[in-house]
Amino acid sequence: MGLNYLQNNPGKDPWNRGTWHLRRNRNKLGITLNLNTPEGKNIFLNLVKIGDIVVENFRVGALERLGIGYSELKMVNPKIILMSLSSQGDTGPERGYGSNAEVLEFVSGIRSLIGYPDEVSGFMATTLADPMAGTIAAGFVMAALRYREHTGKGTHVVISQRELLTSVIGEEIMDYMMNKRVSQPRGNSHPTFAPHGCYPCQGRDSWITLVIRDDQEWQSLCQLMGQPELAADLRYADGLSRWRHRDEIDRTISQWTVRYNRKDLMQLLQEKGIAAGAVYQPPDLIEDEHLRSRGFWDTVDDPRPGYGTYTVHGRGFYLSRTPVKTRFRAPDLGEHNHYVYSKILGMSQEEIKELERKAIIGTSPVPEVQATIPAIRARRQAEER
Protein backbone atom coordinates (compact mmCIF):
# COMPACT_ATOMS: atom_id res chain seq x y z
CA MET A 1 0.00 0.00 0.00
CA GLY A 2 2.91 2.35 0.66
CA LEU A 3 2.77 5.72 2.40
CA ASN A 4 1.21 7.64 -0.52
CA TYR A 5 -2.53 8.11 -0.51
CA LEU A 6 -4.95 9.45 -3.07
CA GLN A 7 -5.22 13.24 -2.67
CA ASN A 8 -2.76 12.93 0.25
CA ASN A 9 -5.70 11.76 2.37
CA PRO A 10 -5.63 8.30 4.00
CA GLY A 11 -9.26 8.66 5.02
CA LYS A 12 -10.92 6.20 7.37
CA ASP A 13 -9.87 3.22 5.23
CA PRO A 14 -6.26 3.84 4.16
CA TRP A 15 -5.92 0.23 2.98
CA ASN A 16 -8.23 1.16 0.10
CA ARG A 17 -6.65 4.54 -0.74
CA GLY A 18 -2.98 3.66 -1.19
CA THR A 19 -1.70 4.75 -4.59
CA TRP A 20 0.20 1.47 -5.06
CA HIS A 21 -3.05 -0.43 -4.57
CA LEU A 22 -5.08 1.84 -6.86
CA ARG A 23 -2.45 1.57 -9.59
CA ARG A 24 -1.64 -2.14 -9.43
CA ASN A 25 -5.01 -3.75 -8.78
CA ARG A 26 -7.14 -2.32 -11.57
CA ASN A 27 -9.31 -4.83 -13.46
CA LYS A 28 -9.15 -7.33 -10.57
CA LEU A 29 -11.67 -8.86 -8.22
CA GLY A 30 -10.81 -8.47 -4.55
CA ILE A 31 -11.54 -11.02 -1.82
CA THR A 32 -10.23 -11.76 1.66
CA LEU A 33 -9.59 -15.20 3.14
CA ASN A 34 -7.82 -16.36 6.30
CA LEU A 35 -5.74 -19.34 5.19
CA ASN A 36 -4.72 -20.14 8.77
CA THR A 37 -8.16 -21.64 9.43
CA PRO A 38 -9.51 -25.00 8.22
CA GLU A 39 -12.51 -23.23 6.67
CA GLY A 40 -10.27 -20.78 4.82
CA LYS A 41 -8.04 -23.56 3.53
CA ASN A 42 -11.05 -25.57 2.25
CA ILE A 43 -12.50 -22.51 0.49
CA PHE A 44 -9.15 -21.84 -1.15
CA LEU A 45 -8.90 -25.43 -2.40
CA ASN A 46 -12.43 -25.14 -3.80
CA LEU A 47 -11.24 -22.11 -5.80
CA VAL A 48 -8.22 -24.12 -6.98
CA LYS A 49 -10.56 -26.86 -8.25
CA ILE A 50 -12.06 -24.45 -10.78
CA GLY A 51 -8.95 -22.35 -11.32
CA ASP A 52 -6.11 -22.35 -13.83
CA ILE A 53 -3.25 -20.53 -12.13
CA VAL A 54 -2.15 -19.78 -8.58
CA VAL A 55 0.49 -17.06 -8.14
CA GLU A 56 2.25 -16.67 -4.80
CA ASN A 57 5.08 -14.57 -3.37
CA PHE A 58 5.48 -16.06 0.11
CA ARG A 59 8.71 -17.29 1.63
CA VAL A 60 9.60 -20.78 0.47
CA GLY A 61 7.75 -23.28 2.65
CA ALA A 62 4.88 -20.98 3.62
CA LEU A 63 2.34 -22.77 1.40
CA GLU A 64 3.38 -26.15 2.75
CA ARG A 65 2.96 -24.96 6.34
CA LEU A 66 -0.55 -23.82 5.44
CA GLY A 67 -1.28 -27.20 3.90
CA ILE A 68 -1.74 -25.80 0.40
CA GLY A 69 1.59 -26.60 -1.24
CA TYR A 70 1.79 -27.82 -4.83
CA SER A 71 1.29 -31.46 -3.80
CA GLU A 72 -2.04 -30.53 -2.18
CA LEU A 73 -3.07 -28.28 -5.06
CA LYS A 74 -2.54 -30.90 -7.75
CA MET A 75 -4.50 -33.44 -5.71
CA VAL A 76 -7.62 -31.30 -6.07
CA ASN A 77 -6.76 -30.11 -9.60
CA PRO A 78 -4.07 -32.01 -11.55
CA LYS A 79 -4.10 -29.26 -14.19
CA ILE A 80 -3.35 -26.40 -11.83
CA ILE A 81 -0.33 -24.19 -12.56
CA LEU A 82 1.47 -22.80 -9.51
CA MET A 83 3.74 -19.83 -10.10
CA SER A 84 6.06 -19.11 -7.15
CA LEU A 85 7.99 -15.83 -7.20
CA SER A 86 10.51 -16.60 -4.47
CA SER A 87 13.39 -14.59 -3.12
CA GLN A 88 16.22 -17.13 -3.54
CA GLY A 89 14.59 -20.15 -5.20
CA ASP A 90 13.31 -23.40 -3.68
CA THR A 91 16.69 -25.11 -3.16
CA GLY A 92 20.02 -24.15 -1.63
CA PRO A 93 21.08 -23.05 1.87
CA GLU A 94 19.27 -19.71 1.61
CA ARG A 95 16.00 -21.03 0.23
CA GLY A 96 14.05 -19.89 3.29
CA TYR A 97 15.36 -16.33 3.32
CA GLY A 98 12.95 -13.42 3.15
CA SER A 99 13.61 -10.18 1.31
CA ASN A 100 12.09 -7.25 -0.49
CA ALA A 101 13.00 -5.78 -3.85
CA GLU A 102 15.53 -3.31 -2.42
CA VAL A 103 17.39 -6.00 -0.48
CA LEU A 104 17.49 -8.24 -3.56
CA GLU A 105 19.24 -5.51 -5.54
CA PHE A 106 22.07 -5.60 -3.01
CA VAL A 107 22.51 -9.39 -2.73
CA SER A 108 22.23 -9.79 -6.50
CA GLY A 109 25.27 -7.57 -7.04
CA ILE A 110 23.45 -4.87 -9.00
CA ARG A 111 23.75 -2.17 -6.35
CA SER A 112 27.55 -2.57 -6.23
CA LEU A 113 27.63 -1.13 -9.76
CA ILE A 114 25.19 1.77 -9.31
CA GLY A 115 26.25 5.21 -8.20
CA TYR A 116 29.44 7.24 -8.37
CA PRO A 117 33.01 6.14 -7.63
CA ASP A 118 33.96 6.25 -3.93
CA GLU A 119 30.32 6.59 -2.87
CA VAL A 120 28.08 4.08 -1.17
CA SER A 121 24.90 3.59 -3.16
CA GLY A 122 21.77 3.57 -1.01
CA PHE A 123 18.20 2.47 -1.50
CA MET A 124 16.28 3.80 -4.49
CA ALA A 125 12.68 5.00 -4.64
CA THR A 126 12.00 2.59 -7.49
CA THR A 127 13.01 -1.04 -7.78
CA LEU A 128 13.82 -3.48 -10.56
CA ALA A 129 13.15 -6.85 -8.94
CA ASP A 130 9.36 -6.75 -8.73
CA PRO A 131 8.43 -5.63 -12.26
CA MET A 132 11.15 -7.84 -13.74
CA ALA A 133 9.93 -10.93 -11.89
CA GLY A 134 6.31 -10.20 -12.75
CA THR A 135 7.07 -9.80 -16.44
CA ILE A 136 9.16 -12.99 -16.57
CA ALA A 137 6.48 -14.85 -14.61
CA ALA A 138 3.81 -13.91 -17.15
CA GLY A 139 5.91 -15.46 -19.91
CA PHE A 140 6.46 -18.66 -17.93
CA VAL A 141 2.74 -18.89 -17.17
CA MET A 142 2.02 -18.77 -20.91
CA ALA A 143 4.61 -21.52 -21.45
CA ALA A 144 3.01 -23.60 -18.68
CA LEU A 145 -0.43 -23.16 -20.26
CA ARG A 146 1.02 -24.30 -23.58
CA TYR A 147 2.57 -27.33 -21.87
CA ARG A 148 -0.79 -28.17 -20.26
CA GLU A 149 -2.53 -27.83 -23.61
CA HIS A 150 -0.25 -30.53 -25.04
CA THR A 151 0.01 -32.84 -22.01
CA GLY A 152 -3.07 -32.19 -19.92
CA LYS A 153 -0.81 -31.67 -16.89
CA GLY A 154 -0.22 -28.72 -14.66
CA THR A 155 3.19 -27.69 -13.34
CA HIS A 156 4.99 -25.73 -10.63
CA VAL A 157 7.25 -22.91 -11.79
CA VAL A 158 9.65 -21.40 -9.24
CA ILE A 159 11.39 -18.10 -10.01
CA SER A 160 14.40 -16.88 -8.05
CA GLN A 161 14.23 -13.09 -8.07
CA ARG A 162 17.82 -12.87 -6.87
CA GLU A 163 19.08 -14.96 -9.79
CA LEU A 164 17.05 -12.95 -12.29
CA LEU A 165 18.74 -9.78 -11.09
CA THR A 166 22.22 -11.31 -11.10
CA SER A 167 21.67 -12.38 -14.70
CA VAL A 168 21.31 -8.69 -15.63
CA ILE A 169 25.00 -8.09 -14.81
CA GLY A 170 26.28 -11.17 -16.64
CA GLU A 171 29.08 -9.29 -18.44
CA GLU A 172 30.43 -8.01 -15.11
CA ILE A 173 30.44 -11.54 -13.71
CA MET A 174 32.27 -12.83 -16.79
CA ASP A 175 34.84 -10.05 -16.55
CA TYR A 176 35.71 -11.18 -13.05
CA MET A 177 35.76 -14.87 -13.91
CA MET A 178 37.94 -14.35 -16.98
CA ASN A 179 40.07 -11.34 -16.02
CA LYS A 180 39.77 -11.13 -12.21
CA ARG A 181 38.57 -7.53 -12.50
CA VAL A 182 36.01 -6.33 -9.97
CA SER A 183 33.72 -3.75 -11.58
CA GLN A 184 33.09 -0.56 -9.64
CA PRO A 185 30.41 2.16 -9.88
CA ARG A 186 31.10 4.42 -12.84
CA GLY A 187 28.56 7.16 -12.35
CA ASN A 188 27.33 8.12 -15.83
CA SER A 189 30.41 6.97 -17.72
CA HIS A 190 30.65 3.88 -19.92
CA PRO A 191 33.46 1.28 -20.05
CA THR A 192 34.11 1.93 -23.76
CA PHE A 193 31.99 4.81 -25.13
CA ALA A 194 32.94 8.46 -24.66
CA PRO A 195 31.45 10.93 -24.37
CA HIS A 196 28.73 9.14 -22.44
CA GLY A 197 27.01 11.07 -19.70
CA CYS A 198 24.39 13.34 -18.23
CA TYR A 199 24.81 17.06 -18.89
CA PRO A 200 23.11 20.22 -17.52
CA CYS A 201 20.57 22.18 -19.55
CA GLN A 202 18.67 25.42 -19.07
CA GLY A 203 16.64 25.62 -15.90
CA ARG A 204 16.91 24.19 -12.44
CA ASP A 205 17.70 20.47 -12.20
CA SER A 206 17.36 20.08 -15.97
CA TRP A 207 19.52 17.47 -17.68
CA ILE A 208 20.11 15.57 -20.90
CA THR A 209 21.89 12.29 -21.54
CA LEU A 210 23.81 11.45 -24.71
CA VAL A 211 26.25 8.88 -26.02
CA ILE A 212 28.76 8.96 -28.90
CA ARG A 213 29.46 5.50 -30.27
CA ASP A 214 31.77 6.11 -33.25
CA ASP A 215 33.87 8.68 -35.07
CA GLN A 216 31.05 9.79 -37.36
CA GLU A 217 28.80 10.63 -34.42
CA TRP A 218 31.68 12.51 -32.78
CA GLN A 219 32.17 14.61 -35.89
CA SER A 220 28.43 15.36 -36.00
CA LEU A 221 28.46 16.45 -32.36
CA CYS A 222 31.47 18.71 -32.89
CA GLN A 223 29.75 20.37 -35.85
CA LEU A 224 26.57 20.82 -33.84
CA MET A 225 28.47 22.41 -30.96
CA GLY A 226 30.13 24.82 -33.40
CA GLN A 227 33.56 23.40 -32.61
CA PRO A 228 34.55 21.38 -35.71
CA GLU A 229 38.22 21.69 -34.73
CA LEU A 230 37.65 19.19 -31.93
CA ALA A 231 37.03 16.46 -34.51
CA ALA A 232 40.58 17.01 -35.83
CA ASP A 233 42.18 17.17 -32.38
CA LEU A 234 44.50 14.17 -31.98
CA ARG A 235 43.47 13.85 -28.31
CA TYR A 236 40.00 12.87 -29.50
CA ALA A 237 40.87 11.16 -32.78
CA ASP A 238 39.34 7.77 -31.98
CA GLY A 239 37.16 6.06 -29.42
CA LEU A 240 39.99 5.04 -27.10
CA SER A 241 41.50 8.52 -27.15
CA ARG A 242 38.15 10.11 -26.35
CA TRP A 243 37.64 7.65 -23.51
CA ARG A 244 41.02 8.55 -22.01
CA HIS A 245 40.14 12.26 -22.18
CA ARG A 246 36.47 11.86 -21.27
CA ASP A 247 36.55 14.25 -18.29
CA GLU A 248 37.70 17.24 -20.35
CA ILE A 249 35.26 16.33 -23.14
CA ASP A 250 32.45 16.26 -20.58
CA ARG A 251 33.37 19.76 -19.40
CA THR A 252 33.26 21.05 -22.97
CA ILE A 253 29.87 19.44 -23.66
CA SER A 254 28.42 20.79 -20.39
CA GLN A 255 29.38 24.34 -21.36
CA TRP A 256 27.39 23.85 -24.57
CA THR A 257 24.31 21.94 -23.31
CA VAL A 258 23.62 24.41 -20.50
CA ARG A 259 22.53 26.96 -23.11
CA TYR A 260 19.64 24.79 -24.35
CA ASN A 261 16.23 23.61 -23.29
CA ARG A 262 16.61 19.88 -22.67
CA LYS A 263 13.75 18.77 -24.91
CA ASP A 264 14.76 21.07 -27.78
CA LEU A 265 18.32 19.80 -27.51
CA MET A 266 17.16 16.18 -27.49
CA GLN A 267 15.28 16.81 -30.73
CA LEU A 268 18.32 18.52 -32.26
CA LEU A 269 20.68 15.67 -31.36
CA GLN A 270 18.24 13.01 -32.54
CA GLU A 271 17.95 14.71 -35.92
CA LYS A 272 21.73 14.37 -36.28
CA GLY A 273 21.60 10.64 -35.47
CA ILE A 274 22.99 11.03 -31.95
CA ALA A 275 21.33 8.96 -29.23
CA ALA A 276 20.11 11.43 -26.62
CA GLY A 277 17.32 11.70 -24.08
CA ALA A 278 16.06 14.42 -21.78
CA VAL A 279 15.92 13.43 -18.10
CA TYR A 280 12.23 13.56 -17.18
CA GLN A 281 10.50 13.77 -13.82
CA PRO A 282 6.89 12.64 -13.15
CA PRO A 283 5.29 16.02 -14.08
CA ASP A 284 7.15 15.92 -17.42
CA LEU A 285 5.93 12.40 -18.11
CA ILE A 286 2.30 13.28 -17.43
CA GLU A 287 2.46 16.11 -19.98
CA ASP A 288 4.66 14.27 -22.49
CA GLU A 289 3.23 14.59 -25.99
CA HIS A 290 4.55 11.24 -27.16
CA LEU A 291 3.05 9.25 -24.26
CA ARG A 292 -0.24 11.08 -24.63
CA SER A 293 -0.40 10.40 -28.36
CA ARG A 294 0.07 6.68 -27.71
CA GLY A 295 -2.66 6.60 -25.08
CA PHE A 296 -0.25 5.49 -22.35
CA TRP A 297 -2.10 7.26 -19.56
CA ASP A 298 -5.38 5.89 -18.25
CA THR A 299 -8.01 7.99 -16.54
CA VAL A 300 -10.02 6.26 -13.84
CA ASP A 301 -13.41 7.73 -12.94
CA ASP A 302 -13.96 6.42 -9.43
CA PRO A 303 -17.54 6.98 -8.22
CA ARG A 304 -16.78 6.33 -4.56
CA PRO A 305 -17.14 9.41 -2.32
CA GLY A 306 -13.78 11.09 -1.82
CA TYR A 307 -12.07 9.39 -4.77
CA GLY A 308 -13.07 11.15 -8.01
CA THR A 309 -10.97 11.07 -11.18
CA TYR A 310 -7.28 10.17 -11.19
CA THR A 311 -4.64 9.26 -13.75
CA VAL A 312 -2.71 5.99 -13.76
CA HIS A 313 -0.05 4.62 -16.07
CA GLY A 314 -0.71 2.22 -18.93
CA ARG A 315 0.96 -1.10 -19.60
CA GLY A 316 3.64 -0.31 -22.16
CA PHE A 317 2.26 -2.75 -24.73
CA TYR A 318 -0.67 -2.72 -27.11
CA LEU A 319 -2.79 -5.42 -28.77
CA SER A 320 -4.17 -4.81 -32.25
CA ARG A 321 -7.65 -6.17 -31.56
CA THR A 322 -8.00 -6.06 -27.78
CA PRO A 323 -7.77 -2.72 -25.98
CA VAL A 324 -5.53 -2.92 -22.90
CA LYS A 325 -7.35 -0.38 -20.78
CA THR A 326 -8.68 0.02 -17.27
CA ARG A 327 -12.11 -1.56 -17.32
CA PHE A 328 -12.82 -1.02 -13.62
CA ARG A 329 -11.06 0.50 -10.63
CA ALA A 330 -9.04 -1.32 -8.00
CA PRO A 331 -11.43 -3.02 -5.56
CA ASP A 332 -11.90 -2.24 -1.91
CA LEU A 333 -10.56 -4.86 0.48
CA GLY A 334 -12.91 -7.83 0.27
CA GLU A 335 -15.26 -5.98 -2.05
CA HIS A 336 -16.06 -9.09 -4.11
CA ASN A 337 -16.37 -11.58 -1.26
CA HIS A 338 -20.09 -12.10 -1.78
CA TYR A 339 -19.78 -12.35 -5.57
CA VAL A 340 -16.95 -14.90 -5.53
CA TYR A 341 -18.20 -17.03 -2.68
CA SER A 342 -21.86 -16.93 -3.69
CA LYS A 343 -21.87 -16.75 -7.49
CA ILE A 344 -18.70 -18.73 -8.19
CA LEU A 345 -18.52 -21.21 -5.29
CA GLY A 346 -22.28 -21.42 -4.66
CA MET A 347 -22.14 -20.69 -0.93
CA SER A 348 -25.28 -19.52 0.84
CA GLN A 349 -25.65 -16.08 2.40
CA GLU A 350 -25.79 -17.73 5.82
CA GLU A 351 -22.44 -19.45 5.19
CA ILE A 352 -20.86 -16.18 4.06
CA LYS A 353 -22.18 -14.33 7.13
CA GLU A 354 -20.74 -17.04 9.36
CA LEU A 355 -17.34 -16.61 7.69
CA GLU A 356 -17.56 -12.89 8.39
CA ARG A 357 -18.52 -13.52 12.01
CA LYS A 358 -15.45 -15.74 12.46
CA ALA A 359 -13.22 -13.14 10.73
CA ILE A 360 -12.27 -15.68 8.07
CA ILE A 361 -13.33 -13.08 5.50
CA GLY A 362 -13.99 -9.37 5.91
CA THR A 363 -13.70 -5.89 4.45
CA SER A 364 -11.16 -4.35 6.82
CA PRO A 365 -7.88 -5.57 8.31
CA VAL A 366 -7.95 -7.16 11.74
CA PRO A 367 -6.96 -4.77 14.58
CA GLU A 368 -3.40 -6.09 14.92
CA VAL A 369 -2.79 -5.43 11.21
CA GLN A 370 -4.45 -2.00 11.35
CA ALA A 371 -2.04 -1.08 14.15
CA THR A 372 0.88 -1.45 11.70
CA ILE A 373 -0.58 0.99 9.13
CA PRO A 374 1.26 4.33 9.53
CA ALA A 375 -1.80 6.51 8.90
CA ILE A 376 -3.87 4.71 11.52
CA ARG A 377 -0.99 4.66 14.01
CA ALA A 378 -0.52 8.42 13.59
CA ARG A 379 -4.25 9.02 14.00
CA ARG A 380 -4.39 7.03 17.22
CA GLN A 381 -1.33 8.79 18.61
CA ALA A 382 -2.99 12.14 17.89
CA GLU A 383 -6.18 11.01 19.63
CA GLU A 384 -4.19 9.89 22.68
CA ARG A 385 -2.52 13.31 22.91
175 is catalytic: no
C-alpha to C-alpha distances, 31 to 70, 100, 342, 352, 360, nearest whole angstrom: 22, 24, 12, 12, 11
Question: ∠ CA(259), CA(260), CA(261), 5° rounding?
Answer: 140
Catalytic residue among 130, 175, 233, 284: 130
CB 231 within 8 Å of CB 212: no
Inter-residue contact 249 to 236 (CB < 8 Å): yes
Q: How far apart are CA 81 and CA 53, in angstroms?
A: 5
Q: Tell me how far apart the alpha carbons of residues 331 and 31 are, in angstroms, rounded to a whole number.
A: 9
Element housing 276 (H / E): strand 276-278
Largest CA distance in the chain: 86
Angle formed at CA 111 by CA 106 and CA 115, multiple of 5 degrees: 150
For residues 300 and 310, what is the distance between their CA atoms, to the nearest angstrom?
5
| Residue 19 CB coordination number (10 Å) | 17
Task: List alpha helices for 152-181, DSSP H.
Answer: 161-168, 170-179
The one-character DSSP state at 331 is: P
Contact 20, 1 (CB under 8 A): yes
- Please write down the long-range contacts of 290-293, taking CB distance under 8 Å and 24 or more positions apart: none
Q: Sign of torsion, CA 369 370 374 378?
A: negative
Shortest CA distance to 5 belongs to which of 381, 379, 383, 328?
379
Residues in the chain: 385
| Cβ density class 108-126: b for 16+ within 10 Å, e for less | bbbbbeebeeeeeeeeeee
* Euclidean distance between CA atoms 80 and 163, whole angstroms: 25
Q: How far is CA 82 from CA 135, 143, 287, in A?
A: 16, 12, 40
The residues annotated as belonging to the active site are 130
